[in-house]
Amino acid sequence: MRDHSTDVFQTSLAGETMAIFCGPTSNKFIFSNELKLVRSWLPRSISKALAQQNADPYSLSYKLADQVSHKFLKLDCIQQYVGTMDSMVKQHLDEFWLPFDQVKVHPLAKEFTFELSCRIFVEFSNPSPELIKQLRDPFFEFIEGIFSTPLNIPGMPYYKALKKSALVQEKLFEIMEQRKIQLSDVEQQQQQQDQVVYDRDLLGQFLMATDEHGTSVRKEDVARVIVGFIFASFYTTSTTIAFVVYFLSKHPDIYEKVLQEQMEIKKTKQAGDLLTWADVQKMKYSWNVICETMRLRPPATGGYKEVITDFTYSGFNIPKGWKYFPDPENFDPSRFEGSGPPPFTFVPFGGGPRMCTGKEYARMETLVFLHNLVTKFRFKMVNPNEKIFYNPDPVPAEGLHVYLQPNS
């Protein structure tokens, strides 16, 4: 393998020797060979921190957990949460943005997306601030060390990350036991009234699930999926929200187009009405803006695959001067109009049979947040030259500090 190439090169990441595949041709090759040459995988250090290391993909519990979680994230199920997202965004902005003339977007976006994840995945019926804090504090701390050098030695960031990850799992186990008692009581009451028992959050779905063999989902598999879902849904989405604000601050003309689209939707709502899935479907230009944001500032720098059989990848040469996007450094949402970019040039949610199942959840969350944000505020960066750090994913160095002005 060549040491330096625009197509593929070898390096070391997260304590593992890896081949890095780059560009549309490589994307197509990898996604087209899922389960043939490669399969989804996480480095051992990240897998351990995310409670994935002891998972048995051949067990009935693992398979049932995957079935339940995939069904939960299907569009016909997840679209019912649009109103919940809208209500929570409104409350968040009124409490943490409206009273101030300056805010730091990224920390606030992390707080909001984490609370929403807790509501959808753990405790739909109004999780208490104390419950959220008990999950959030160790979760945020373990996120700080998950991508650090994987040295499990006292005092090292990775050591602390593992300790905090264990605390999150223990808290989830405790919540599960409490919910089992609650669900048992509700089930008895509703069965007496010939009602179907249903629970609106993912944890409740897990606790009620059984397969044809009577197998239920092990608590370790419940924690594995929920920790992974919370990590993916709050970590990447909060970054995207922050950089949408970043680019709209730098491009007022694009902000005005987004505002116009969102105001057209707002005009159709009566006081107290919440957004619906039909409203989200109308936010086409706003989604183009979000996609262009993810193209220029990908919230995750890449995905991991494990080679399952030897193969050769060579002979893919890119002609000198050829580009996948015209003017690639420019922020231009119009490149996503019509049929959009060429296949495999834009893959923020992966591709092939293992495309991210949370795509629609992320789309809904970011669009609902953007709708409320632009219809309520105008914003300008306090430091227009605020730097971006990569650790390994992009982070605004100062939290994206902005001035706020209420939209009249």
User: How far is residue 403's CA from residue 101's CA, in Å, rounded to a whole number?
Assistant: 6
Q: Is 134 helix (H, G, I), strand (E, B) or coil?
A: helix
Q: Is 270 helix (H, G, I), strand (E, B) or coil?
A: coil
Q: Are 386 and 398 spatial neighbours (Cβ–Cβ below 8 Å)?
A: yes
Using the structure block, give the residue that is written with the tokens 């041709």: 25
Using the structure block, give the residue that is written with the tokens 């899922």: 34
Question: What does the chain come to in residues?
Answer: 408
Question: What's the token pair of residue 123?
Answer: 């405790």
Task: Look at residue 110 in the predicted model and tell me its pLDDT.
Answer: 95
Residue 246, Cβ neighbours under 10 Å: how many?
24
Alpha-carbon Rg of the chain, whole angstroms?
22
Written as one letter, the residue type at 271 is: A
| In the chain, % of residues over pLDDT 70 | 89
Q: Are 221 and 65 spatial neighbours (Cβ–Cβ below 8 Å)?
A: yes
Give pLDDT tens digits along the chain (408 positions): 445 566 777 777 767 777 777 777 778 877 888 888 877 777 777 888 887 777 788 889 989 999 999 999 998 889 999 999 999 999 999 999 999 999 999 999 999 999 999 999 998 887 788 999 999 999 998 888 888 888 889 989 889 989 999 999 999 999 999 888 887 776 666 655 544 445 688 999 999 888 888 889 999 999 999 998 998 888 889 999 999 999 999 999 999 999 999 999 999 999 889 999 999 999 999 999 999 999 999 887 777 777 778 777 655 332 333 345 667 788 999 999 988 887 777 777 777 666 677 788 999 999 999 999 999 999 999 999 999 988 778 889 999 999 999 987
Q: CB under 8 Å to 231, separation ≥6 — which residues?
A: 50, 139, 143
Question: What's the token pair of residue 44?
Answer: 């051992």
> What crossing angle do the helices spanning 252-266 and 359-376 adopt, rounded to 10°?
100
Using the structure block, give the residue that is written with the tokens 């979680």: 69
- As beta bridge partners, residue 378 has 405
Q: Are 123 and 131 spatial neighbours (Cβ–Cβ below 8 Å)?
A: yes
Residue 231, Cβ neighbours under 10 Å: how many?
22
Task: Look at residue 318 in the predicted model and tell me its pLDDT.
Answer: 29
User: How far is residue 195's CA from residue 187's CA, in Å, rounded to a whole number?
Assistant: 9
Q: CA torsion 66→67→73→78, rounded to 10°? A: -140
pLDDT tens digit sequence for 3-46: 556 677 777 776 777 777 777 777 887 788 888 887 777 777 78
Task: Look at residue 191 in the predicted model and tell me its pLDDT.
Answer: 55
Q: Are 8 and 21 spatial neighbours (Cβ–Cβ below 8 Å)?
A: yes
Residue 191, Cβ neighbours under 10 Å: how many?
11
Pairing relationship of beta strands 305-307 and 38-40 according to DSSP bridges:
antiparallel
22 marked among binding-site residues? no
CA angle 276, 286, 405 (to 5 degrees): 95
User: How far is residue 41's CA from residue 45's CA, in Å, rounded to a whole number?
Assistant: 12
Instruction: State in Å, rounded, how far the first CA of the chain is from the last one.
Output: 59
Exposed/middle/buried for residue 405 (C-beta within 10 Å: 0-12, 13-18, 19+): exposed
CA angle 339, 340, 342 (to 5 degrees): 100
Residue 356, Cβ neighbours under 10 Å: how many?
18
Q: Are 393 and 299 spatial neighbours (Cβ–Cβ below 8 Å)?
A: yes
Question: What are the structural domains of the chain?
Answer: 57-303+358-406 (1.10.630.10)
Q: Are 41 and 304 spatial neighbours (Cβ–Cβ below 8 Å)?
A: yes
User: How far is residue 351's CA from residue 141's CA, in Å, rounded to a whole number?
Assistant: 31
Q: CB under 8 Å to 288, separation ≥6 — which residues?
A: 333, 334, 336, 337
| Distances in whole angstroms, Cα of residue 288 to Cα of each of 101, 103, 261, 263 | 28, 25, 12, 17
Helix, strand, coil share (%) of the chain residues, nearest 5: 55, 10, 35
pLDDT tens digit sequence for 41-62: 777 778 888 877 777 888 899 8
